[in-house]
Amino acid sequence: AQRVTQPEKLLSVFKGAPVELKCNYSYSGSPELFWYVQYSRQRLQLLLRHISRESIKGFTADLNKGETSFHLKKPFAQEEDSAMYYCALLLFGNEKLTFGTGTRLTIIP
Amino acid sequence: NAGVTQTPKFQVLKTGQSMTLQCAQDMNHNSMYWYRQDPGMGLRLIYYSASEGTTDKGEVPNGYNVSRLNKREFSLRLESAAPSQTSVYFCASSPRGDQPQHFGDGTRLSIL
């Protein structure tokens, strides 16, 4: 079965420093991968998906099939980036998203 | 445009009581989902509905039933609540299964 691993439950980064939230998946095919974010007192919302190749709020994520990773990166952290981040995997032809356990990112002023 | 609306936002039940969580979306989406969120476990899919009139089990369906009442509404029922069902429940919808999902605000449910 497919699995998504986010090894860091908590991550603290100083404002202005680079951010990397790790995500690894286990699946031998070609998945679609997403990052969802939940800011304090807000709904879980889509941050980005790998097929769109967009940069949202300064975040990017590259799918590395060799390492089965989809790490989320931002060169300069901002205080408003503090939130819970979830990596999620969707198999083509399958309706179900598989979520990782999430990483709580805290930006230190 | 409300998006996905869940009711109630909070509920406390006693063990053995029954409860229905309501979810409605106004985006004309075909697919709807119910998740539970527990500390350290992320979001786990309980049930989903790919279209009106169809439902399928997710990862953790035991102890729950669902009804896709129409295209807009997808309810989750706990017939006999257990303390292990204490959780935050999220409803989501998407235009179809391979599209990003839109989430509601969640229902915080405590079973005593």
Q: Which residue of A has its CA nearest to B103?
A: A44
From the candidates B36, B55, B98, B107, which should be mutated to test the interface with A, based on the most A CB atoms within 10 A?
B98
d(CA B74, CA B67): 6
Phi, psi of B83 (to 5 degrees): -55, -30
Structure tokens at A78: 């901002």
d(CA B25, CA B52): 13
Helix, strand, coil percent content, chain B, rounded in steps of 5: 5, 50, 45
Omega of the bond prior to B8 within 30 degrees of 0, cis? yes
Res B73: pLDDT? 96
Tokens 């860091």, located at residue? A8
Contacts of A100 in chain B (CB under 8 A): 42
Res A41: pLDDT? 86
User: Across residues B25-50, what is the average pLDDT?
Assistant: 93
d(CA A16, CA B89): 35
> Do A43 and B104 lie within an 8 Å CB cutoff?
yes
Tell me: pLDDT of B1 over 70.
no
Q: What is the pLDDT of residues B45-100, one digit of tens each?
A: 999 999 988 999 999 999 999 999 899 999 999 999 999 999 999 999 999 888 88
pLDDT by residue, tens only, chain A of 109 residues: 778 999 999 999 999 999 999 999 998 777 889 999 999 988 999 999 887 777 788 899 988 888 899 999 999 999 999 999 999 998 777 778 899 999 999 999 9
Res A81: pLDDT? 97
Q: Which residue of A has its CA nearest to B41?
A: A101
Res A94: pLDDT? 72
Asked whether B25 and A76 are in contact (CB, 8 A), the reply is no
DSSP three-state, residue A19:
strand
Res A106: pLDDT? 97
Contacts of B31 in chain A (CB under 8 A): 95
Pick the closest to residue B25 from B98, B102, B83 (CA basis). B102
Within chain B, how many helices (H) and strands (E) appear? 0, 11
Res A103: pLDDT? 96
